[in-house]
Structure 1
Amino acid sequence: MHDEPGPGLHNGEERGATFEDLAAFLQRPEPDGYPVQVVRECVCRSCGGRAFEVAVMADEAARRTCLACRETEFIADSEEYWDDDAEADYCCACLCGGEEFAAAVGFSLREDGDVRWVYVGLRCLACGALGLYEDWKINYGPSAFLLDRA
């Protein structure tokens, strides 16, 4: 998926019911992956909603749309890489067919506190399946401000 190691996509076997379940999923060590030190729940800045449709563009961009108010927000630094003239590479969907999710962002940090890697985790609201739907490397600093852009 990327030029450096990261967790793989879900296989539909892990389930959860809460943000804590999704956070634990993102923090679980993966072979050759970077450790996730911080997990932030995605919460709509407009209405406080916690249910989303999520679209991604390959390599470094994810955007969420609140199901309650339809407000769209970019995850981490995705706005810089999002191509408004192109369609998203895909809208996230669970193996069960569900397209509505609770979302969280896991951050792997460098020793200086800057973000090294971003992981977008989703929990299907239909069946509870947990999965990693996108991840990307942060090649610049300072980047700690991204922790507030889940």
Structure 2
Amino acid sequence: MHDEPTPPGLGKRGSTFDDLAAFLQQPDPGGYPVQAVRECVCRSCGGRSFEVAVMEEENAARRTCLTCGQHEFIADSEEYWDDDTELECYCACPCGSEEFAAAVGYSLREDGDVRWVFVGLRCLTCGGLGIYEDWKISYGPSAFLLDRA
């Protein structure tokens, strides 16, 4: 059994990318607004269903396509990912499923650089929506991260 982070947003449901994008763009009191949302699509086969692992200590996320098995890092996660540690956790919905549609929400600075990254997942079993990981981007230029959902 995987060690599973619990997502905020329990009880919210959706069935499409648009539902997940709207969820990511809901204002969070005291948080940064999300101005851009990108759907996660496998660069190898075009798949849109994933198993997602996070490294909470490092604020990093990696998705694995359920169609072809290809691993891809989200945003700048590759720089912080450590395959040699046991800090990897697989995301799981409260319903028990570990299969998700995924999207990345980006909070942007005035100059267009990325300020904050939010990894949003929609459970493919029950439609539950949640933000499973987020982290600050404290360097620039960082607008290139918009292409790394």
TM-score bracket, shorter-length normalisation: over 0.9
Q: 2 CA distance for matches of 1:60 and 1:96?
A: 24
What SS does structure 1 have at the residue aligned with 2:22? Answer: helix
Q: Does 1:111 align with 2:110?
A: yes
Aligned to 2:145: 146
Give 2:105's aligned amino acid. Answer: G
Aligned to 1:133: 132
Q: Does 1:46 align with 2:40?
A: no
Conserved 8 A contact 2:13-2:129: yes
Conserved 8 A contact 2:35-2:107: yes
Q: 2 CA distance for matches of 1:88 and 1:16?
A: 30
Shift of 1:112: 0.3
Structure 2 runs not aligned, ≥5 long: 1-5
Q: Does 1:35 align with 2:33?
A: yes
Runs of 4+ displaced beyond 3 Å: none
For 1:83-122, list aligned pairs within 5 A: 83-122=82-121
Aligned to 1:3: none
What SS does structure 2 have at the residue aligned with 1:43? Answer: coil
Q: 2 CA distance for matches of 1:105 and 1:88?
A: 22
Shift of 1:109: 0.2
Aligned to 1:10: 8
**Count of residue pairs the alignment pairs up:** 143
What's the % identity of the aligned pairs? 76
Conserved 8 A contact 2:36-2:107: yes
Return the TM-score normalized by structure 2. 0.93
Deviates more, 1:58-67 or 1:111-120: 58-67
Give 1:50's aligned amino acid. Answer: R
Conserved 8 A contact 2:20-2:129: yes
Structure 1 runs not aligned, ≥5 long: 1-7
Q: 2 CA distance for matches of 1:67 and 1:102?
A: 10
Shift of 1:88: 4.2
Conserved 8 A contact 1:34-1:108: yes
CA RMSD, 1 decimal:
1.2
Aligned to 2:74: 75
Conserved 8 A contact 1:101-1:124: yes
What SS does structure 2 have at the residue aligned with 1:134? Answer: strand
Aligned to 2:21: 23
What SS does structure 1 have at the residue aligned with 2:37? Answer: strand
Q: 2 CA distance for matches of 1:28 and 1:12?
A: 14
Q: 2 CA distance for matches of 1:84 and 1:65?
A: 14
